[in-house]
Copies of this chain bind each other. A is one copy, B any other.
């Protein structure tokens, strides 16, 4: 790779650095001059970054998706409308080779959802069923609460002994920029029904996996073990979990009524929508950027993952607008049915199994709309990692020590050897809104979206220009 490297001060002379970037550099300088690398960019990258910073594509595309489609649960009519939207949007943006790669998914739709404390102190509780869960009888379940402060406490409980009870698992999730608290907190969501079911419980309610204190329960996919009879499981909003805990603290037996009537509706169509910028010199070599098109049904999927769709589409559009022609093919994927178990990611890995050697690098934006603050590598080769370091330098961002699989839908091809990377976003507040009705467009900052596009288009250009095989 033969490039003219410019320092940030040279860049400033060229006027290629936007006013905002300059301001941020100044603001950061006092605190972070010793930890944040100086930006080193080529003239092409400087031009792309300026265009990205001035663009509103990502913001506008997310506005369009959330306003015109809204909630788009995997397999539903709404997800089908979102695929039509994505194909039309790709065409409008000028992408090539636009197509839908269909696959089938298990359909599941929400029903009635109510919960109330019957005694002592009758009160309504705000609850939502977890995705994939079975229903209570239509008339609901009335039972005493068996309280477990944490999921560990439930796992440590003896087998049996919870016969007919409604298990309540509390436990709080910690806030962190990279969402490190999600994995530990999420165990109760994924496996709570299995652990409680093994011990004879009639149903489970959990404190929502989230970091807010608003009256929104957080949904999300759960799983049943094959050898345990499935029981209903729902999540309470944080204030309702607090309320139930305060009632339990009074020492009396707490009896509740729980009614949730979701149902499985058989196999339904989903699909991955794909568009490309075909490479000029090595069109067979593919760089994937992506988001996922489906969302949970409660909100309009703005942060999860309308923003990722907007950022991926917007970065490709900025590259096209620049007039620069990438050597390698940029493949933009709007994955379907991510929320219910990475169905789109697995379908892509299956369909393209014979072509994965041609996949140079892959990444997904699926962590909201916060600014990118570091670069993470899921690349094994030294030469590939050197390019990632150059990308980080071009963004003035540090390389993280933490590994990545490139994002949820990239995982299946990463596991088959495709090099991956991630532009890590600040998701400190992401789990305030995640999987709730409150995941709506008003939560998105257009400046942050432009900063994401700057990072993505930088990565796209530098990875497509590199002669490097990222596996080496």
Chain A residues engaging chain B, CB cutoff 8 angstroms: 63, 66-71, 120-124, 126, 213-216, 238-239, 242-243, 246-247, 299-300, 436-438, 440-443
B243 contacts A441, C-beta separation under 8 Å: yes
A63 and B214: CB pair below 8 A? no
Contact A299/B63 with A68-B121, A121-B70, A242-B442 known, Cβ cut-off 8 Å: no
B70 pairs with A442, CB closer than 8 A = no
Is the CB–CB distance between A216 and B215 below 8 Å?
yes
Q: Which of B242, B300, B443 contacts A213 (CB 8 A)?
A: B443
Docked pose: A123 CA to B239 CA in angstroms: 27
Taking the closest CB of chain B, its distance from the CB of A210, in whole angstroms, is: 13
- Using known A-B contacts A214-B214, A215-B299, A246-B67, determine if residue A239 contacts B121 with beta carbons closer than 8 Å: no
Q: List 20 A-B contacts (CB under 8 A).
A: A63-B246, A66-B243, A68-B120, A69-B121, A70-B121, A70-B123, A70-B124, A213-B442, A213-B443, A214-B214, A214-B216, A215-B216, A215-B436, A215-B440, A239-B438, A239-B440, A239-B441, A239-B442, A242-B440, A242-B441
> For residue A246, which residues in chain B have a CB less than 8 angstroms away from its CB?
63, 67, 441
CB nearest neighbor in B for A243:
B67
- B-chain residues with CB within 8 Å of residue A67 when the two chains form the complex: 121, 243, 246-247
Report the minimum CB–CB distance from A78 to chain B (whole Å): 9
CA distance A126 to B299 in the complex (A): 10
Measured between alpha carbons, how far is A437 from B240 in the docked complex, in Å? Answer: 11
**Closest CB-CB distance, A85 to chain B, in whole Å?**
10
Q: Cα distance A215–B433 when bound, in Å? A: 10
Q: A123, B213: Cβ atoms under 8 Å?
A: no
A303–B464 Cα distance when bound, in Å, is 56
A216 to B214, CA, bound (A): 10
How far is the CB of A297 from the nearest CB of chain B, in Å?
A: 9
**Residues of B close to A436: CB separation below 8 A:** 215
Instruction: State whether A440 and B69 are in contact (beta carbons under 8 Å apart), knowing that A299-B215, A300-B123 are contacts in the complex.
Output: no
Q: How far is the CB of A58 from chain B (nearest CB, A)?
A: 16
Q: Give complex CA distance A248, B437 in Å.
A: 22
Residues of B within 8 A of A126 (CB): 437
- By a CB distance below 8 angstroms, the chain B residues around A124 are 70-71
Give the docked Cα–Cα distance between A247 and B441 (Å): 13
**Distance between Cα atoms of A71 and B124 in the complex (Å):** 9
CB distance from A301 to the nearest CB of B (A): 12
- Residues of B close to A443: CB separation below 8 A: 213
Nearest-Cβ distance from residue A299 to partner chain B, whole angstroms = 7
**Residues of chain B with a CB closer than 8 A to A121's CB:** 67-70
Query: Quick check: B238 and A442 within 8 Å, CB to CB?
Result: yes
Residue ID in chain B nearest A244 by CB atoms: B67
CA distance A438 to B436 in the complex (A): 14
Q: Which residues of B contact A122 (CB under 8 A)?
A: 70
Known: A239-B442, A247-B67. A215 touches B437 (CB 8 A): yes
CA distance A442 to B300 in the complex (A): 26
Which of chain B's residues has its CB closest to A438's CB?
Answer: B215
What residues of chain B lie closer than 8 Å to A441, measured between beta carbons? 239, 242-243, 246
Q: Knowing that A239-B441, A242-B442 touch, tell me 13 more A-B residue pairs with CB under 8 angstroms.
A: A63-B246, A67-B121, A67-B243, A70-B123, A70-B243, A126-B437, A213-B442, A213-B443, A214-B214, A214-B216, A215-B299, A215-B440, A243-B440
Give complex CA distance A300, B122 in Å: 12
CA A120 to CA B121, docked complex, whole Å = 45
A443 to B121, CA, bound (A): 21
CB-CB < 8 A to A299: which residues of B? 215
Measured in the bound complex, the distance between the Cα atoms of B239 and A63 in whole Å is: 12
Q: A123 contacts which chain B residues (CB < 8 A)?
A: 70-71, 300
Rounded to whole Å, the gap between the CB of A115 and the closest CB of chain B is 13
Question: A247 to B300, alpha carbons, bound, how many Å?
Answer: 14
Residue of B120, B213, B216, B300 touching A243 (CB-CB under 8 A): B300
**In whole angstroms, what is the CA distance A103 to B127 when docked?**
36
For A249, give the chain B residue with the smallest CB separation: B67
Closest to A239 in B: B440
Smallest beta-carbon distance A113→chain B, Å: 14
Query: Looking across the interface, which residue of chain B has its beta carbon closest to that of A238?
Result: B442
Name the residue among A67, A126, A213, A438 with the largest chain B CB count within 10 angstroms: A67
Shortest distance in angstroms between A111's beta carbon and chain B's nearest beta carbon? Answer: 15
Chain B neighbourhood of A242, CB < 8 A: 440-442
User: Bound state CA distance, A122 and B78, in angstroms?
Assistant: 9
